[in-house]
Amino acid sequence: MAEFYDALETRSPDQREAEQTKALPDLLRRAKATAGFGRILKDVDPAAVTSRAALAALPVTRKSALIQAQKDEPPFAGLNATAPGDLARIFLSPGPILDPEGRRADYWRLARALFAAGFRRGDIIHNCFSYHLTPAGSMLDLGAQALGCAVVPGGVGNTESQVQAIGLVRPQGYTGTPSFLKIILDKAKELGSDVSSLKRALVSGEALPPSLRTELDGRGVPTLQCYASADLGLIAYESPAREGMIADEQLILEILRPGTGDPVPAGEVGEVVVTAFNPDYPLVRFATGDLSAVLPGPSPCGRTNLRIKGWMGRADQTTKVKGMFVHPEQVAAVLKRHPAIRRARLVVDRVNDIDSMTLRCEVENGGAASVEAVAESIQALCKLHGQVEFVAPGTLPNDGKVIEDVRKLT
Which amino acid, residue 342? Answer: R
- Residue (of 246, 252, 315, 305) closest to 62 by Cα position: 315
Hey, which of 244-248, 289-293, 342-346 has the most confident mean pLDDT? 244-248
Q: CA 400 to CA 397: how far, in whole Å?
A: 8
Q: Where are the extended beta strands (E) located within 241-386? A: 245-247, 251-256, 270-276, 286-292, 294-295, 307-308, 319-321, 324-326, 341-351, 354-363
Q: CA 56: distance to chain centroid?
A: 18
Backbone angles phi, psi at 329, to 5 degrees: -60, -35
- Check pLDDT > 90 for residue 181: yes
Helix (H, G, I), strand (E, B) or coil at 271: strand
The secondary structure element, H or E, covering residue 216 is helix 210-218
Residue 10's pLDDT is what? 97
Tens digits of per-residue pLDDT, 256-278?
998 788 999 989 999 999 999 99
Q: CA 273 to CA 276: how far, in whole Å?
A: 10
What confidence tier does 205 reach under pLDDT thresholds 50, 70, 90? confident
Residue 95's pLDDT is what? 75
**What residue ranges of the chain are covered by domains with CATH 3.30.300.30?**
319-405
- Check pLDDT > 90 for residue 36: yes
What confidence tier does 2 reach under pLDDT thresholds 50, 70, 90? low
Mean pLDDT across 288-300? 93
The secondary structure element, H or E, covering residue 179 is helix 178-191
**What residue ranges of the chain are covered by domains with CATH 3.40.50.12780?**
7-308
Pair 144, 126: CB distance under 8 Å: no
Backbone angles phi, psi at 306, to 5 degrees: -55, 145
DSSP codes, 349-400: EEETTEEEEEEEEEEGGGTT--HHHHHHHHHHHHSS--EEEEE-TT-S-SS-
The CATH architecture of the domain made up of 319-405 is 2-Layer Sandwich (3.30)
Q: How far does the chain reach from its first CA to its final CA, in angstroms?
A: 57
Residues 6+ apart with CB under 8 A from 301: 3, 116, 239, 240, 241
Mean pLDDT across 206-224? 94
* Average predicted confidence (pLDDT) for the chain: 93
Pair 246, 239: CB distance under 8 Å: yes
Q: Where are the extended beta strands (E) located within 144-250? A: 150-153, 173-176, 200-203, 223-229, 233-237, 245-247
Residues 6+ apart with CB under 8 A from 275: 24, 27, 55, 251, 252, 254, 283, 284, 285, 286
Which region among 39-43, 205-209, 262-266, 306-310 has the lowest average model confidence (pLDDT)? 205-209
Q: CA 88: distance to chain centroid?
A: 24
The secondary structure element, H or E, covering residue 189 is helix 178-191
- The DSSP output letter for 9 is G
Q: Where are the extended beta strands (E) located within 64-133? A: 89-93, 97-101, 124-127
- Check pLDDT > 70 for residue 230: yes
Residue 320's pLDDT is what? 78
Residue 289's pLDDT is what? 87
- Check pLDDT > 80 for residue 368: no
What confidence tier does 367 reach under pLDDT thresholds 50, 70, 90? low
Q: CA 390 to CA 364: how far, in whole Å?
A: 9
What confidence tier does 224 reach under pLDDT thresholds 50, 70, 90? very high
Tens digits of per-residue pLDDT, 52-83?
999 999 999 999 899 899 999 999 999 999 99
Tens digits of per-residue pLDDT, 116-142?
999 999 999 999 999 999 999 999 999
Mean pLDDT across 241-253? 97
CATH of segment(s) 7-308: 3.40.50.12780
Q: How many CA atoms lie within 13 A of 16 on its CB side?
A: 18
- Check pLDDT > 90 for residue 350: no
Helix (H, G, I), strand (E, B) or coil at 276: strand
Query: What percentage of the chain carries pLDDT values higher than 70?
Result: 98
Q: CA 151 to CA 165: how far, in whole Å?
A: 12
Pair 227, 235: CB distance under 8 Å: yes
Distances (CA, A) of 264 to 82, 154, 218, 256, 270: 33, 41, 38, 5, 7
Distances (CA, A) of 259 to 21, 77, 359: 25, 21, 16
- Residue (of 262, 254, 216, 257) closest to 236 by Cα position: 254
